[in-house]
């Protein structure tokens, strides 16, 4: 058992974690900053996987107000409006910094201005990109900037527990995956930026190491969570049999450029679901439409639907979407000339830890940024707002940490305290354990896909609740055999713990929200109910370990949905202007 300390402990090395590290260091270079990453620094995580781009107002014909309003409409008005405003307002300065200070190169027009392309759910073409592999460009340059500073990073380490007293976080217990040993890490402030990654579903897009660890860590530490029922499914996840590339996203720019969706009968089915916007409808609408077609028996050989961009011209497709063409080619298809079979794929968690606009959580000393945080996107995230959130909030939170870190005392636990905590995570070697975590993970993913996925109903979710409870009990029989070093079975067991817990949060919130809104669709309550459900759902771990859950009216600080004044007049909705 080894112990260390730092001023700033950052858990996660995606866009949020690395930009926060850079800004915290630049705000106060005397800070000792340590970045802990489950994978390799700058080479893992979901920011690197971003294809489409970054939403930002650059054109004089566009406006921050329009970007903000599009974000609220996409989120069906349950966004935290101050967080959504900070996203839209800070985006231009963030893109400017990424280009001029961080060193990113984004595609440009012939006149030298930054090129912006169309994405669904937006009233203006405002998505900045680097081809169709924007995330790689951003992450490579952020990684360069971290390496140029005195910032320490620990690769292939994962946090298994946030340490604190229920009111404050003072560090984290870290597992060295390479060695199978523990590190007790004390810190003045801790930043949670592990990325969400809803991999509790059978078909999922996030990077392979994702298991909702940050959300489980925050909940277990006592942080206030919000809107956990809101899980986004991207409409076009590649299908490649049992291969690990199944579920990986074919980017939204394909639909933005004019891509069309067909079922197995050759019908362009979006005419039935959103004839006005067709394939450029928001992700929740298009994903649900694809799922409905598949469930109605109009799916292809792999149980999917088809995206076709061949009518745009093979040369255009190969030039504009080289990353997507290569991805599809790797599994035997030609995107430029033929339709490709796709399926909705679990992609992003809009819910997460409740924060303010500088990333403070409900726990002293715990900051949160990126997909671990909830509130920016409401009930549905617009394509292009994801990498924007991670970098914008990494930047904002990094500044706040740089200003505030030294105002927090450093609390150091004894070796005995650390060792007692580590002992809990070594229990998987007890001889009476026989359960294989990989088998339970397969079962969990099928369960969530079928009973708490794109289309939900109370009867299914009640069954899901019961099965999740029994899976929690089965966790106590999970075993990890063999060496401590690089033990994948141990990793699966820890992943399973996080995913089952987060699945329980999703299910409980989905049961409570008796309406359909954005990514949350219930066929037993198929309509959006602004009279009763313009609310956020909050949950928190009680002192006795029970899940405390409640709903609270949305606060409209900047923009009120049309028609809400009548609701207010009826005394059924509280509105703050």
Question: From the candidates 141, 255, 377, 445, which is the catalytic residue?
Answer: 255
> Which one of the listed residues 234, 260, 377, 395 is annotated catalytic?
234
Question: What is the pairing mode between strands 157-164 and 169-176?
Answer: antiparallel
Q: For residue 169, list its beta bridge partners.
A: 164
Is 234 an annotated catalytic residue? yes
| Alpha-carbon span 260 to 262, nearest angstrom | 7
* CA 25 – CA 109 distance, rounded (Å): 35
* Secondary structure letter of residue 238 according to DSSP: E
C-alpha span between 41 and 34 (Å, rounded)? 12
> At how many degrees (to 10) do helices 458-474 and 437-451 cross?
170
Q: How far is CA 409 from CA 6, 172, 189, 406, in A?
A: 11, 15, 9, 7
Please tell me the distance from the alpha carbon of residue 128 to that of residue 59, in angstroms, as a whole number. 11
Q: Is 247 exposed, middle or buried (0-12, 13-18, 19+ CB in 10 A)?
A: buried
Rounded CA-CA distance 376/385 in Å is 9
Return d(Cα 394, Cα 2) in angstroms, integer: 29
Lookup: tokens for 386: 């994801």
Task: Report how far residue 51's alpha carbon sits from residue 322's, in angstroms, rounded to the nearest whole number.
Answer: 11
DSSP calls for 105-136:
---B-TTSSBPEE--TT-SS--EE-STT-HHH
Q: Could you tell me which residues come within 8 angstroms of residue 47 by beta carbon, excluding any fewer than 6 positions away? A: 14, 15, 16, 135, 138, 139, 195, 387, 390, 391
Alpha carbon distance 438, 440 (integer Å): 5
Contact 499, 199 (CB under 8 A): yes
* Rounded (5°) CA angle 86-374-51: 75
Q: Which of 357, 361, 355 is nearest to 168 (CA)?
A: 361
374 vs 167: CA distance, rounded Å: 20
- Per the annotation, the verdict on 130 as an active-site residue is no
Show the DSSP H helices in 476-552 as ranges: 488-512, 530-533
SS3 of residue 320 by DSSP: helix
Indicate which residues carry an active-site annotation. Answer: 234, 255
């Amino acid at each position: 058992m080894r112990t260390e300390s730092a001023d700033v402990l950052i858990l996660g090395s995606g866009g949020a974690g690395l930009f926060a590290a850079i800004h915290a260091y630049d705000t106060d270079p005397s800070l000792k900053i340590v970045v802990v990453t489950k994978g390799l620094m700058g080479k893992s995580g979901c920011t690197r996987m971003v294809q489409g781009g970054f939403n930002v107002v650059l054109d004089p014909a566009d406006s921050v107000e329009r970007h903000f309003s599009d974000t609220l409409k996409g989120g069906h008005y349950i966004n935290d409006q101050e967080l959504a405003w900070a996203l839209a307002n800070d985006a231009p300065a963030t893109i400017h910094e990424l280009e001029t200070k961080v060193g990113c190169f984004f595609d440009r027009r012939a006149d030298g201005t930054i090129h912006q392309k169309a994405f669904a759910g937006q009233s203006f073409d405002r998505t900045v990109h680097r081809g169709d592999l924007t995330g790689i460009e951003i992450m490579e340059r952020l990684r360069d900037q971290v390496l140029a500073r005195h910032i320490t990073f620990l690769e292939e380490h994962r946090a298994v527990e946030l340490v604190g007293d229920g009111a404050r976080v003072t560090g984290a217990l870290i597992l060295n995956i390479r060695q199978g040993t523990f590190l007790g890490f004390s810190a003045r402030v801790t930043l949670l930026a592990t990325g969400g990654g809803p991999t509790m579903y059978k078909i999922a897009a996030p990077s392979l190491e994702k298991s909702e660890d940050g959300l489980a860590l925050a909940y277990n530490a006592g942080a206030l969570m919000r809107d956990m029922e809101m899980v986004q499914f991207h409409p076009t996840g590649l299908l490649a049999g049992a291969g690990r590339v199944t579920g990986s996203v074919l980017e939204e720019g394909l639909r933005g450029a004019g891509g069309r969706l067909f079922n197995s009968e050759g019908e362009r089915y979006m005419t039935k679901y959103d004839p006005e916007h067709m394939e450029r409808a928001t992700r929740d609408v298009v994903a649900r439409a694809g799922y409905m077609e598949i469930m109605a028996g109009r799916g292809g050989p792999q149980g999917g639907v088809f995206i076709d961009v061949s009518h745009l011209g093979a040369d255009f497709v190969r030039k504009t979407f080289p990353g997507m063409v290569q991805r599809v080619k790797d599994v035997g298809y030609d995107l430029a000339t033929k339709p490709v079979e796709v399926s909705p794929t679990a992609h992003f968690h809009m819910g997460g830890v409740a924060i303010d606009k500088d990333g403070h959580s409900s726990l002293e000393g715990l900051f949160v940024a990126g997909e671990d945080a909830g509130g920016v996107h409401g009930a549905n995230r617009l394509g292009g707002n994801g990498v924007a959130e991670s970098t914008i909030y990494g930047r904002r939170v990094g500044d706040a940490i740089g200003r505030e870190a030294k105002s927090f005392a450093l609390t150091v636990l004894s070796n005995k305290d650390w060792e007692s905590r580590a002992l809990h995570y070594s229990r998987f070697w007890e001889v009476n354990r026989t359960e294989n975590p990989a088998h339970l993970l397969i079962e969990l993913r099928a369960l969530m896909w079928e009973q708490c996925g794109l289309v939900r109903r109370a009867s299914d979710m009640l069954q899901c609740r019961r099965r999740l409870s029994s899976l929690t009990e089965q966790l106590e029989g999970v075993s990890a055999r063999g060496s401590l070093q690089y033990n994948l079975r141990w990793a699966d067991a820890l992943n399973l713990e996080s995913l089952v817990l987060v699945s329980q949060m999703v299910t409980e919130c989905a049961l409570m929200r008796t309406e359909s809104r954005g990514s949350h669709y219930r066929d037993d309550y198929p309509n959006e109910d602004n009279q009763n459900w313009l609310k956020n759902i909050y949950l928190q771990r009680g002192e006795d370990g029970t899940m405390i859950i409640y709903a609270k009216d949305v606060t409209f600080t900047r923009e009120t949905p049309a028609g809400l004044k009548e609701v207010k007049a009826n005394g059924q909705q509280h509105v703050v202007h």
